[in-house]
Structure 1
Amino acid sequence: MRKLTLLLLFLALVYGCNSNDHQTEFKKNTDMAKSYFKLHEVEDAEAMFEYLHPDMEWHMPGYGMPLGGIDEVKAALLGYQDNFEDLSFTAEYWLPGVNSDTGIPDGSTRVYGNWKATHTASGKKVDLTSYHSFEFKDGKIFKGGDWFDLGGMMNSLIPEAPVEKDTDSE
Structure 2
Amino acid sequence: MLKAIIGFVVGAAAVYLLVPPAGDTEKDSNLSNSPVYLANLAVVKSMHQAHMDEDSETWSTMIADSLKWSSPEYGSVNQAGTKEDWAALMKSYQDGFDDISIQQAIYLPGLDSVTAEPDGSVRVYIHWKGTHTSSGVVAEPWYYANYDFEGGKVVAASEFMDVGGMRNYIAEAAAASESE
Aligned to 1:119: 132
Contact 2:43-2:152 within 8 A present in 1 as well:
no
Q: Could you tell me which amino acid in structure 2 is paired with residue 82 of structure 1?
A: D
Say if 2:91 is the partner of 1:78: yes
Aligned to 1:93: 106
Say if 2:40 is the partner of 1:29: yes
Contact 1:39-1:47 within 8 A present in 2 as well:
yes
| Superposition deviation, residue 79 in structure 1 | 0.5
1:149 equivalent among 162, 173, 179: 162
Say if 2:118 is the partner of 1:102: no
Question: How well do the aligned residues superpose, as a CA RMSD in angstroms?
Answer: 2.4
When structure 1 is superposed on structure 2, of 63-72 and 79-88 the one drifting more is: 63-72
2:56 equivalent among 20, 45, 52: 45
Q: Could you tell me which amino acid in structure 1 is paired with residue 58 of structure 2?
A: A
| Superposition deviation, residue 155 in structure 1 | 1.4
Aligned counterparts of 1:60 and 1:45: Cα–Cα separation in 2: 18
Q: Could you tell me which amino acid in structure 2 is paired with residue 85 of structure 1?
A: D
Larger Rg: 2
| Superposition deviation, residue 50 in structure 1 | 1.1
| Superposition deviation, residue 138 in structure 1 | 2.0
| Superposition deviation, residue 137 in structure 1 | 1.3
| Stretches of structure 1 lacking an aligned partner (at least 5 in a row) | 1-11, 164-170
CA shift in 2, pair 1:135/1:39, >3 Å: same
SS state at 1:74 partner: helix
Say if 2:72 is the partner of 1:61: yes
SS state at 1:157 partner: helix
Aligned counterparts of 1:103 and 1:64: Cα–Cα separation in 2: 28
When structure 1 is superposed on structure 2, of 50-59 and 91-100 the one drifting more is: 91-100
Whose helix fraction is larger, Structure 1's or Structure 2's? Answer: 2
SS state at 1:160 partner: helix
Per-residue deviation, residues 12-70 of structure 1 (Å, max 9, x unmatched): 8xx979x88x8111111111100110111111112111111011111100111123111
Aligned counterparts of 2:39 and 2:103: Cα–Cα separation in 1: 19
SS state at 1:86 partner: strand
Aligned counterparts of 2:147 and 2:125: Cα–Cα separation in 1: 12
Aligned counterparts of 1:83 and 1:144: Cα–Cα separation in 2: 22
Contact 1:91-1:111 within 8 A present in 2 as well:
no
Per-residue deviation, residues 112-137 of structure 1 (Å, max 9, x unmatched): 12000001111110111111111111
Q: How many residues align?
A: 150
Give the TM-score taking structure 2 as reference length: 0.75
Aligned counterparts of 1:70 and 1:92: Cα–Cα separation in 2: 23
| Superposition deviation, residue 101 in structure 1 | 2.5
Aligned counterparts of 1:110 and 1:90: Cα–Cα separation in 2: 17
